[in-house]
A and B are shown apart, each in its own frame.
Chain A
Amino acid sequence: AQSVTQLDSHVSVSEGTPVLLRCNYSSSYSPSLFWYVQHPNKGLQLLLKYTSAATLVKGINGFEAEFKKSETSFHLTKPSAHMSDAAEYFCVVSDPSGGYNKLIFGAGTRLAVHP
């Protein structure tokens, strides 16, 4: 069975400092992995996705994530946080039993950015 664990429910950083949001996954298959961001009372926006190409994936707004099979991790990073990055972030794995259509969400990490 597929599963996703986001290791931190809350992360707080100062503006201009690096961001690290941690995610571990469990998958019996070669997974497709995603990071989505959700601002308050909004839907989800895709930041980036990994689908077995390059292990370092670059996304929008300066975010990137590295797929590490040996560690079953897919951590999200950004070199310098902006105030506008404050939001909820979800690490997601697709479930191949549903033709890779079914998404399994982590519990989310709330990122706070302080001036």
Chain B
Amino acid sequence: GAVVSQHPSWVICKSGTSVKIECRSLDFQATTMFWYRQFPKQSLMLMATSNEGSKATYEQGVEKDKFLINHASLTLSTLTVTSAHPEDSSFYICSAKDRVGDQPQHFGDGTRLSIL
């Protein structure tokens, strides 16, 4: 089946640093990938839609300069949390949709980000 690999799974870093999270579709091509944020014991909140070869589409209230998204190929999207602060600590999950056919989104295993 379709596999989405997300890396790293855990990140702990100091306040003010930037953190990059990768999302790869391993056995399919994805023109569209999605980035979600999930707070403890809550549902997923869509942050942005990542489109291969074009700018990402951000949801209302999500700072595009804080959360930089790059989708340079059909199998890779990256989310960079710039100048991270403790309030950015969260569980970030990506998903990807196969470009072929009417396929559901397939999710990565998430990245736990902790900013000290």
- Identify 15 new A-B residue pairs, CB closer than 8 A, beyond the known A43-B109, A105-B43: A36-B107, A42-B109, A42-B110, A43-B95, A43-B110, A44-B95, A46-B104, A46-B105, A51-B102, A90-B44, A101-B97, A101-B105, A102-B49, A103-B34, A107-B42
Q: Tell me the smallest distance from the CB of A109 to a CB of chain B, in Å.
A: 10
Closest A-chain residue to B38, C-beta based? A38
Contact B112–A41 (Cβ < 8 Å): yes
Taking A43-B107, A103-B105 as contacts, is the C-beta distance between A108 and B43 under 8 angstroms? yes
Interface residues of A (CB under 8 A from B): 34, 36, 41-46, 49, 51, 90, 98, 101-103, 105-108
A41: chain B residues at CB < 8 Å are: 91, 110, 112
Measured CB to CB, the residues of B under 8 A from A are 4, 6, 32, 34, 42-44, 46, 49, 91, 93, 95, 97, 102, 104-110, 112
